Amino acid sequence: MTTLPSHTEKKLGLVIDLDTCVGCHACVISCKEWNTEHYGAPLADMDAYGADPVGTFLNRVHSFEVTPKDAPPQLVHFPKSCLHCDDAPCVTVCPTGASYKRQEDGIVLVNEDACIGCGLCAWACPYGAREMDGAEKVMKKCTLCVDRIYNDNIPEEDRVPSCVRTCPEGARHFGDLGDADSDVSRLVAERGGFDLMPEQGTRPVNKYLPPRPKDTLQETSILAPYLEPVTDEATGIVGWLDRALSRL
């Protein structure tokens, strides 16, 4: 079994704002594109245009309709990928050491050369964040685009995960959550960021920002004053047309 590092020098991760995510799936598409073309072993799509298409995704968006107390129903879009947990059960359960957590930045990765496709890590992950590649027969997961964030050959503004760079609403943030003074850490503190399923004891690095309360239901529409008729009788060309049609 693989052991976890006693500490990591950084805790690189994502902060996802559930208040501003609109569920456009741009992060899903950009993740798929980047990791299909630039991943060591490209993400497979099998029978893509057939009767039983199968594909591997490292990031997905789930949508839920919720009804808060004394508030109108609200649609919440919930992006989910690997959370790069401090106590990652997917790492400690791996029989070959293929799953591991890096000490230098805390990113959880898979050595695909050592992966035997047993699926134990997928069973151990409480978030369903791992997927078996149907073609490669090895486990795939979010890498925080490790091939982008350290790549000196691309512009500095692009050295963030593909999903972060693509999000049109700025709902995804990337940085060192082990640094209390980092932008992402301050954002979590200011907005009351929370862990996903903390009862699992995995101590996920990724955080979520809760949706802000929405307006309560109003008894009358704010458009009501504008819906009253301007005049009782139409004039001009509209009035002439109305009188002509009424004689038919």
What pLDDT does 114 receive?
96
Which domains occur in the chain, in start order?
Answer: 12-209 (3.30.70.20)
Of the candidates 2, 192, 212, the residue with the CA atom closest to the CA atom of residue 109:
2
> pLDDT tens digits for 129-168?
999 998 889 999 999 999 999 999 999 999 999 999 999 9
CA distance 162 to 27: 7
pLDDT exceeds 90 at position 208: yes
Longest dimension (CA), the chain: 89
Residue 28, CA distances (Å) to 85, 162, 223 in order = 21, 9, 37
What pLDDT does 61 receive?
96
What percent of the chain is modeled with pLDDT above 70? 86
pLDDT exceeds 90 at position 7: yes
Q: What is the dihedral of CA 170, 175, 179, 181, to 10 degrees?
A: -40
CA distance 100 to 115: 11
Residue 166, CA distances (Å) to 31, 89, 130 in order = 9, 30, 22
> pLDDT tens digits for 105-134?
999 999 999 999 999 999 999 999 999 998
